[in-house]
Structure 1
Amino acid sequence: MPKITYITFDETQYDVEAKEGATVMETAIKNGVPGIEAECGGACSCATCHVYVDEAWAEKTGEPGAMEEDMLDFAQDADERSRLSCQIKVTDELDGLVVRIPESQA
């Protein structure tokens, strides 16, 4: 199973095993990672699952699609590392992925 590391704004680290095919958001919710609210349930319509993808993983997670880009406009403190975790599908290639949760979602 791929492992994902979630790091909160206060540097608390959550290392969790993810099921291939799930999303980074679903994995966070299932494992009780704080700061990932996912109010829309993963429909890419709320930006409450905003994360910063660690620079080393940007290429493997890919670029946000048009709909995700539009929703990121609503995410507080979004920058070039920003993604909606509901839009990142877990694959074996993402084993070791590191994402940071913004302080605004604490």
Structure 2
Amino acid sequence: MSYIKNIEPEVNLKLADQIAVLPGQIVSKTLAQNDAVSLTLFAFDQGEEISTHASEGDAMVLVLEGIGRFTIDGHVHFCKAGETIVMPAGKPHAVYAEAKFKMLLTVVFPQPGQ
């Protein structure tokens, strides 16, 4: 049984090649989703954004290509390819594409008893 979907198993690949930037869009591809964790690839065209929201889980981004602007609890951070930032659970955050960019989003959700 495989818990990761939409990606070829047992193949050496680049995550950035698994999703394409499309004009005027944000494209997403879910790789895993359950009560504990979510893994999603995103591709943003320049100028596209995910407006301010909060998550029940800690959200960690790994930028794969380009540059993203992450506003976390009112503080602005810029991340480029190879950089990571954590958006803590419950804190309002937003994502804006300064340039075309791709990212892997990992969200770790609280479990009962935590």
TM-score category, normalised to shorter length: 0.3 to 0.5
Structure with the bigger RCO (C-alpha within 8 Å, sep 6+) is: 1
What TM-score results when the alignment is normalised by the length of structure 1?
0.37
What TM-score results when the alignment is normalised by the length of structure 2?
0.35
Larger Rg: 2
